[in-house]
Structure 1
């Protein structure tokens, strides 16, 4: 254990001993001086902190110092009443303050107690209560501000975590200070009671047990009592003042001394007014020489402060050039340019109101909701979306980049609404023809005056923020497999490991590396399968990774294990599903043309057969599109992934399922068959 840790423990033990064991006068004097030194150090530290959290131990320190001071009071009271002696420090303070008149000394002590109890302690207590309440009330707003800055890309995840921790620590600190101020108040009350006890019982003991006269008893015990009260109240007054300084200060750039002088003397012209006022007071019976001296000091101070403030600050050009040059030559400066944001959203200057909260924009809040929504739907944590305006874009244009590549773009009209309907054969609603950016549906930009009419006509009417947030959501969904890298996979593995440590140990690092798991998860996300049910996914990997390390094949096993999830995703509410089935002839053709290599299996089908299969599926998909049904292709598990690989290039929207990926209670209705001649 470190010496500093031992010192605090020994100090607490010593306080307990002082409450029980009588101490000699010289040792009491030593501890009294230590008490005064500690009080002085505390107030100096509180004056030199720039924010309360720099002195976060202060509430606990108040408790320890209060306990130490009360233990001293008990020890000195024991010595005063039993031996009429409490050490040289107490006797010196009492003799100096009393000055031969016990009543005057007692009055001075009472005034100090009143100042400490009614002014400083009571004020600090009230400020602590208000600060604690306001700090707790402001926590949600501060947390939202951190989330907004994080989503805007102004801060990193690490910085956001640090700011959240600081907010929590500030709330805890102000709550602790609210309680600690009660210790200070109780200490002041205890000081008054102890003094009264010393005087009353000191007179009784002095006159009854020691045989002193009333005058001798009052002189002896009043001197010791006042001295004891002073050496106790002076540190208490310092601690109370330090408490008030800490709870009344807001975060600043400097310590208390620099801020007081800077802010108090920031208007030198006001010092001239103060100097003139003091000089005029000297014309009254008040001492003319003294007031003139003070007025002169104020006047000269104002002159020098004003003159200094008017002098332009000449920057050290050579130093700045050297700093800038070294920064440009620094390797870190170049390396920083290589950083790339996973997701970037850029917009023209006309769309700034979308992200500007002062203009009613709520894009930042919407992106927070998008990240939460996708975490629930897909099971991954979407990276922070960096939002920025770009003057190179058209004023109403926006674009979305993923890992530096533009994946989507569009245009908005902030003073219009987007109206969508299945059929635009009628032109009853006036507007600007366009396409809904997320799904490519025909739409119109309409004025607010036509909004109600459009809704009555069956149009779906949405505002521009909803349009762009829907577009962002759909694009991120389609690109989720790109956003899931090895680092993100490691975070998911660590998350599962907290609850299922043995399961993770059975899967990684042997027989599957993090890269292998990432490929399996990305394969699921590519086909819009949520990976939120990670325990089931890892259970499947644990079962089948011992037989094969082919990530494509492992992905198929995982899909089959998630059959209930896939069924719920694609089947209707009545557990029915319209599908296009693949004939046995086509499945046999695909199975015969699978090439096995050291790097995995792939489909090697002749171009004519590929074209015929794709043409047939496209024709059947168009029939389902007329019925407003999703195109679902059903085949055997052995050929599912190869058929999906074939369609990805030409018909990526077609959903390919195997029989093993559907629950037995699903009512499958075949509305078409894929066949070849």
Structure 2
């Protein structure tokens, strides 16, 4: 069996064996062996707790504490069975009892009682209290630590992987101290159980020795007291070691190295304190009656250590400034310049009076930004880059700016202490006029305490954070293609490769490069097509790339694979509203297609192009006024050139090909035909 398999089953088998020990009698030799294992394991646990760099490096300690407590109780039960049944519990217990009692039963009982008191009242009680306080403070500080991590992530100081790592550490720390709070209760209960078991051994052994073994009372008391004390010692010594280890683990708060190095470093960093301590020890020699040799040895040793400790050289103000300057890169160093040159892909700049929005105690803007990243990923299939939120002194008061690659993509207003009321009948409410940034709806920024009055007047009330998040979401949707970088495409490709390796291996790098895939995905996002179904997109690109690498052809192939999903975006109540082209006009436009470096275009005169855009816009606007969401249908070869023409005419009418519509299960309803352009040309 492999080493990994042995380690995997060692603990479960050991726990089952501990349960069996409580029921099945053990021979004295096996009991001696297990007692030695118990003492050695407790000593190793104590040493490991001293040498770990930080408490989380020994995160298994709470569970180990429970197992070792259970093991020790099982040994106590096994030893009690042998003491009461045979009057003998093995050589280890006999040796411990004989050594401590030393021929005097009273001294043995006193020493054992003192050991139990130290274990229960001093070590165990203190460790329990420290664990309880540590757990409470750790849990109370957890939200603040999480928000600090989120703030660093949104500010761009750390990446997503580092943020996940830090969140996991914070969560593990809270879980660890919570487990330690509960684990310390096991140690306390174990100490109480050991006292009860010892009393049972004393009373039961005395009774059995007199009534069953026919021993004299004095002999019975001496014999069973020695065995009871020995049994108590072999259980209390490992319990004391584990209690000390518990106290060491939970009190390791501000040190990051092992305990020995930390103690040596911190105790020896003050030379004056060592000199005073050594001198005081030597001064005790003048007190009459005190032995002089011990204090001379101790005081001399401390003074010798003080001489070897190097005195720290105090820094002047100029030296401190110079040291900071050395640590910081020079203003014209490549590192500093590169840091200042870096442009964040997505940035939210706030005026100084809007900084309260990112304060966790008064606003939830950062939480909404994180939720928006997930929403965009589910909606578009794009991992929205971290939004760097910062204040900008150049912005007018109460305003914000959303920037993509350092360029303003949208601006808006969000006055402090106000909410945006959208609707009619707001003249009676105080405030200033405002505009909803996404849909351009007129409204008014009214004081936040009047939002109920605004709602009663029939207005829709939106808080400042919602206004900014809605605006940010729209900016991300309309500029998703700009936010999809080459590194993002690589990450998406790796994600697909983990589940569908054959699809990726067939496509890249043999047929298409990452750059070509990026251009196709950007074109789809630019047309409002989500790219979540990357597997089907890659499969379609693989088939088309075997015959051509033309960009337009690749885009049409990818869209064709997602045809039903694209049509479903514009389907309402099972009905797809369509505007079509006059067949003669469509044939004429197909004959006018000409290839170019930027894609195919229609070689038609300006008047015909303007007529096509005008009539398509008129039909789309009429349909939208009826609450419909129309699309313009045409042949696949004509779709991209026609879409470019409509966009050049400042009209974002969605253009779908016949192949995309044919895969839809919705009912097709034609509401108009574009034919004026052809008739005008004739």
Shared fold (TM-score greater than 0.5)? yes
Which of 353, 365, 368 aligns to 2:367? It is 365
* Alpha-carbon distance change, 354 to 673 in structure 1, aligned in 2, over 3 angstroms: farther
Separation (CA, whole Å) in 1 of partners of 2:75 and 2:479? 70
Bigger CA drift: 127-136 or 623-632? 127-136
Separation (CA, whole Å) in 2 of partners of 1:138 and 1:437? 38
Separation (CA, whole Å) in 1 of partners of 2:535 and 2:364? 36
Partner of 2:568: 568
Partner of 2:170: 167
- Following TM superposition, by how much is the alpha carbon of 1:162 offset from its aligned partner in structure 2, in angstroms? 0.8
Partner of 1:113: 116
Separation (CA, whole Å) in 1 of partners of 2:330 and 2:222? 74
Partner of 1:644: 643
Q: Provide Cα deviations, 1:322-369, integer angstroms capped at 9, x if missing partner.
A: 7337777876555444543221111110211222233x2221122123
Q: Provide Cα deviations, 1:71-100, integer angstroms capped at 9, x if missing partner.
A: 87689889989796966x867764564354
- Following TM superposition, by how much is the alpha carbon of 1:575 offset from its aligned partner in structure 2, in angstroms? 1.2
- Following TM superposition, by how much is the alpha carbon of 1:596 offset from its aligned partner in structure 2, in angstroms? 4.0
Q: Provide Cα deviations, 1:290-317, integer angstroms capped at 9, x if missing partner.
A: 9xxxxxxxxxxxxxxxxxxxx9864654
* Alpha-carbon distance change, 21 to 582 in structure 1, aligned in 2, over 3 angstroms: same
* Alpha-carbon distance change, 437 to 194 in structure 1, aligned in 2, over 3 angstroms: closer
Give 3-state SS (helix, strand or coil) of 2:400's partner.
Answer: strand
Aligned: 1:473 with 2:450: no
- Following TM superposition, by how much is the alpha carbon of 1:477 offset from its aligned partner in structure 2, in angstroms? 0.6
Pairing 1:30-69 to 2, within 5 Å after superposition: 39=42, 42-43=45-46, 46=49, 52-63=55-66, 65-66=68-69, 69=72
- Following TM superposition, by how much is the alpha carbon of 1:638 offset from its aligned partner in structure 2, in angstroms? 1.6
Partner of 1:603: 601
Aligned: 1:345 with 2:341: no
Pairing 1:73-152 to 2, within 5 Å after superposition: 94=97, 97-98=100-101, 100-117=103-120, 121=124, 146-147=149-150, 149-152=152-155
Partner of 1:670: 672
Give 3-state SS (helix, strand or coil) of 2:642's partner.
Answer: helix
Partner of 1:529: 529
Which of 229, 232, 239 aligns to 2:232? It is 229
Aligned: 1:386 with 2:382: no
Q: Provide Cα deviations, 1:272-303, integer angstroms capped at 9, x if missing partner.
A: xxxxxxxxxxxxxxx9999xxxxxxxxxxxxx
TM-score normalised by structure 1 residue count = 0.74
Separation (CA, whole Å) in 2 of partners of 1:148 and 1:171? 20
* Alpha-carbon distance change, 348 to 665 in structure 1, aligned in 2, over 3 angstroms: same
Q: Provide Cα deviations, 1:508-549, integer angstroms capped at 9, x if missing partner.
A: 444344333322222111011122233443443354444433
- Following TM superposition, by how much is the alpha carbon of 1:584 offset from its aligned partner in structure 2, in angstroms? 3.8
- Mark the runs of 5 or more structure 2 residues left unpaired by the alignment: 268-286, 291-312
- Mark the runs of 5 or more structure 1 residues left unpaired by the alignment: 264-286, 291-310
Q: Provide Cα deviations, 1:443-465, integer angstroms capped at 9, x if missing partner.
A: 55455698677667765543333
Bigger CA drift: 191-200 or 531-540? 191-200
- Following TM superposition, by how much is the alpha carbon of 1:666 offset from its aligned partner in structure 2, in angstroms? 1.9
| Contact 2:29 2:90 (8 Å CA) reproduced | no
How many matched pairs? 632
Q: Provide Cα deviations, 1:27-62, integer angstroms capped at 9, x if missing partner.
A: 87xx97886676456446546767531321312443
* Alpha-carbon distance change, 428 to 584 in structure 1, aligned in 2, over 3 angstroms: farther
Q: Provide Cα deviations, 1:119-141, integer angstroms capped at 9, x if missing partner.
A: 75477568768977997898788
Query: How much is the aligned-residue C-alpha RMSD, in angstroms?
Result: 5.3
Pairing 1:380-419 to 2, within 5 Å after superposition: 380-419=382-421
| Contact 1:520 1:554 (8 Å CA) reproduced | yes
Separation (CA, whole Å) in 1 of partners of 2:266 and 2:203? 50
| Contact 2:613 2:646 (8 Å CA) reproduced | no
Separation (CA, whole Å) in 2 of partners of 1:126 and 1:469? 46
* Alpha-carbon distance change, 595 to 162 in structure 1, aligned in 2, over 3 angstroms: same
* Alpha-carbon distance change, 357 to 170 in structure 1, aligned in 2, over 3 angstroms: closer
Bigger CA drift: 93-102 or 469-478? 93-102
- Following TM superposition, by how much is the alpha carbon of 1:617 offset from its aligned partner in structure 2, in angstroms? 1.1
Give 3-state SS (helix, strand or coil) of 2:600's partner.
Answer: strand
Aligned: 1:621 with 2:617: yes
Separation (CA, whole Å) in 2 of partners of 1:57 and 1:140? 24
| Contact 1:582 1:674 (8 Å CA) reproduced | no
Q: Provide Cα deviations, 1:640-667, integer angstroms capped at 9, x if missing partner.
A: 0111223333425232222332236221
Separation (CA, whole Å) in 2 of partners of 1:618 and 1:459? 35
Pairing 1:6-17 to 2, within 5 Å after superposition: none
| Contact 1:94 1:226 (8 Å CA) reproduced | yes
Pairing 1:408-487 to 2, within 5 Å after superposition: 408-420=410-422, 432-433=432-433, 435-446=435-446, 460-487=460-487
Bigger CA drift: 213-222 or 154-163? 213-222
| Contact 2:609 2:677 (8 Å CA) reproduced | yes
